């Protein structure tokens, strides 16, 4: 195999391992070493990620300018700040949907009650 290709592959592999280790470290911290979704108990690592407990995770991530792996690095660097939990993708999706429904209901309610007064 071409030497450069080999180096690229090795680098990619070590990046992958580093990212997996970093993710494990963060997930372990936020789940007290029992790495499962805090809602449904899903334990497949590839389905799990960190969720901002009060919502607005994407906005927060945008604000600190990090996405994906660098978000995990940010959490470690900042000594695991509070307000995060481990959730699976399904539960994150349901939570987001519920937040959105609540938001829409409240918005409609305010419109209606505003129209009445």
Binding-site ranges for Zn ion (CB under 5 A):
37, 39-40, 42, 88, 91
CA 117 to chain centre: 42
DSSP structure class, residue 82: S
**Taking the alpha carbons of 56, 25, 20, 77 in that order, is the dihedral positive or negative?**
positive
CB of 37 to Zn ion, least distance (A): 3
CB nearer to Zn ion: pick between 8 and 28: 28
Exposed / middle / buried, residue 10 (Cβ in 10 Å: 0-12, 13-18, 19+): exposed
For residue 86, list its beta bridge partners: 50
CB of 76 to Zn ion, least distance (A): 23
Residue 52 CB, shortest distance to Zn ion, in Å, is 15
Pick between residue 50 and residue 88 the one whose CB is nearest to Zn ion: 88
Q: Which residue, chain included where needed, has tokens 């990619």?
A: 12
Nearer to Zn ion, 75 or 91 (CB): 91
Report the distance separating Cα 105 and Cα 108, nearest Å: 5
Nearest distance, CB of residue 84 and Zn ion, angstroms: 15
Quick one: 42 or 75, whose CB is closer to Zn ion?
42
């Amino acid at each position: 195999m071409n030497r450069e290709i080999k180096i690229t592959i090795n680098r990619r592999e070590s990046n992958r391992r580093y990212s997996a280790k970093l993710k494990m470290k963060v997930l372990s911290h936020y789940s007290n070493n029992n790495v499962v979704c805090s809602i449904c108990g899903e334990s497949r690592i590839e389905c799990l990620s960190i969720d901002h407990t009060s919502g607005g995770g994407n906005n927060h991530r945008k604000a600190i300018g990090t996405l994906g792996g660098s978000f995990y690095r940010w959490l470690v660097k900042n000594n695991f700040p509070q307000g995060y939990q481990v959730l699976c993708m399904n539960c994150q999706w349901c939570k987001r949907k519920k937040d959105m429904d609540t938001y829409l209901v409240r918005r409609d309610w305010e419109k209606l009650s505003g129209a009445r007064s």
